[in-house]
Amino acid sequence: IFGSSSTDHPCSGQGFRSEGRAMPRVSVVRASGQPVLQDVHVMPGESVASLLDRVAEVLGDVRSALVTQEGRRLDGSATVAAEGLGDGDTLTAVALAPHVTLLPNVGAFAALRSSDGSVRTWGEPSLGGDSSAVEDHLAGDVRALCRTNAAFAALKFDGSVHTWGHAVFGGDSSAVREHLNGGVAAVFGTNSAFAALKADGSVWTWGSPHHGGESSTVREHLTEGVESVSRTDLGFTAFKSDGSMYSWGADSSEVVSELKGGAESVASSTELTFAVLRGDGSVAAWGEAQQGGDSSAVREHISSGVRAISSTRAAFAALKHDGSVHTWGDAALGGDSTRVREHLQAGVRAVCATRGAFAALKLSGSVHTWGDPQGGGDSTGVAQHLQEGVEAVYATFTSFAVVKRDGSVHTWGHPEFGGDCAAVAEDLRGGVAEINSTVSAFAAVKLNGLIRCWGNPMYGGLCPDLDGWSRK
């Protein structure tokens, strides 16, 4: 990850003492074992952040973390003494920006290695887990990945786009192949269609006609002058340099109306129910009343100050700038949050959702859940791990996973679909940087570059052997 180098701290004379305690000598190496700092003295009262500054001097200001031989990530705000560093300890400097970026769809994962732009895939073959048809194009120089529910698209540095996965969901781009051989600036995906925005201002689409793959009704407006593209789960909207907007896909008229009015985001619980977050912080919902289309019970709370909305398959949760959360929709699937209401009054940092339950992450690092018990709404089995120290929450359709400040992972929900991580528990005790998920499996990227998976093996829960590839 880093170029090899070594240095020594100026105050490294033998016998120097601080506060009556001998200063321990520590070494820092990169993941390959090559030295960064060798036998440097650190004062017991020195912060870990100070040691990180020394590492940055060698590595060119690369933002990194220090990890012990046991896989524990050191707290930058703590002192050397508090972190228990002893004489002769060796730490590993690891880039905080993941060396490998994971992108999941409903049943497969695609991993992009930043060092050379190569891609690896696994999971359900028909949903994108098998990329053998385009493997030559994925051997390197891939700039970015995009997904639908069942297909992937790779945008290369030469401006070409290559697709694989379920044909109807965008895996087959042969109909617009001539437009994807070069000059593409960005690719966007709905549930089942892709749109490519080219440098010349034209837009080309493929995939399911119901969700934006068919753009013939607005084709004359997409040949030039498009500056940006917005997507929802069901369709696209193109914004042109002359200020005009054109939309296509399923039932997009009301969404377009909201976008024209300044809506910032659109969330859908089902294809029959929508909620939009407007630029003024208010939320509007419509569609099937019992599935979240009727928000009258919380209207006074969501008329202003909302910063994010999330949804299960039949309920919504609105997170406000004041840290409060307000819910509506099917009570059993998260619309009723009275059981945890006291925890949702303030201090909530983020809300995550399965298809039937919500989890609220608070600024204190605690997590509180509600909704379908079988879908993650019941977290009593891991309650002791959710009281503090949680940094992020992730979800499959029926399970949750959290990453704590010490890099450990804890899961709950449906055991076969990600709620049980026992098979890889040893590797999840520390050093985890981030998690991604399909509908029924999780994949964790560790600070040392390793990738570990669990959950439904058909949908990505069984990783191929990526250890050699992911750590290069």
pLDDT, tens digit, for every residue of 3-46? 333 333 333 233 333 334 457 888 888 766 778 888 888 888 88
Looking at 58-72, 82-96, 98-112, 135-149, which range is the least confident one?
A: 58-72
Q: Is 455 left (phi over 0), alpha (psi -120 to 50) or beta?
A: left
What are the distances in angstroms from CA 181 to CA 16, 95, 157, 190, 327?
64, 34, 11, 22, 46
Beta carbons within 8 Å of 369's beta carbon, 6+ residues apart: 340, 357, 358, 359, 360, 376, 377, 378, 379, 400
Mean pLDDT of 89-104: 78
Q: What is the largest CA-CA distance in the chain?
A: 80
Residue 253 has pLDDT above 70, yes or no: no
Instruction: Give residue-wise pLDDT tens across range 122-166.
Output: 999 999 999 999 999 999 999 999 999 999 999 999 999 999 999
pLDDT value of residue 68: 84
Q: What pTM value is reported for the model?
A: 0.76
pLDDT value of residue 62: 52
Better pLDDT: 87 or 359: 359
Residue 329 has pLDDT above 60, yes or no: yes
Percent residues over pLDDT 70 in the chain:
88
Mean pLDDT of 254-278: 63
> Residue written as tokens 């180098």?
5
pLDDT value of residue 13: 31
What are the distances in angstroms from CA 306 to CA 276, 284, 310, 350?
11, 11, 11, 12
Q: Which of 240, 246, 180, 260 is nearest to 218 (CA)?
A: 246
Better pLDDT: 373 or 293: 373
The fold of 25-95 is: Ubiquitin-like (UB roll) (3.10.20)
- The secondary structure of residue 408, as a DSSP letter, is -
Helix, strand or coil for residue 136? coil
Mean pLDDT of 241-246: 93
pLDDT value of residue 63: 55
> Residue written as tokens 């809300």?
351
> How far does CA 290 lie from the centroid of its chain?
30
Tell me the H-state helices in 143-248: none
Mean pLDDT of 399-414: 95
Strand order in the sheet with 283-287: 263-270, 273-278, 283-287
Q: Residue 16 carries which side chain, given as an amino acid letter?
A: F
Highest mean pLDDT among 57-61, 234-238, 335-339: 335-339
pLDDT value of residue 354: 96
Q: Which of 394, 403, 398 is nearest to 414 (CA)?
A: 398
Contact 417, 409 (CB under 8 A): no
pLDDT value of residue 209: 94
Highest mean pLDDT among 68-72, 85-89, 352-356: 352-356
Which CATH number is associated with domain 98-250? 2.130.10.30
Whole-number average pLDDT of the chain:
87
Mean pLDDT of 326-333: 96
> Residue written as tokens 């294809």?
271
Which residues of 32-191 form beta strands (DSSP E)?
35-41, 64-67, 89-95, 100-104, 108-113, 118-123, 142-147, 151-156, 161-165, 184-189
Mean pLDDT of 286-296: 88
Residue 332 has pLDDT above 80, yes or no: yes
* CATH 3.10.20.90, the chain: domain bounds: 25-95
Instruction: Give residue-wise pLDDT tens across range 190-201.
Output: 999 999 999 999
Instruction: Give residue-wise pLDDT tens across range 418-442.
Output: 999 999 999 999 888 889 999 999 9
* CATH 2.130.10.30, the chain: domain bounds: 98-250
pLDDT value of residue 433: 86
pLDDT value of residue 81: 85
Beta carbons within 8 Å of 329's beta carbon, 6+ residues apart: 269, 273, 290, 291, 292, 311, 312, 314, 315, 316, 335
Better pLDDT: 1 or 326: 326
Mean pLDDT of 107-123: 94
Contact 221, 244 (CB under 8 A): yes
Percent residues over pLDDT 90 in the chain:
62
Residue 455 has pLDDT above 70, yes or no: yes
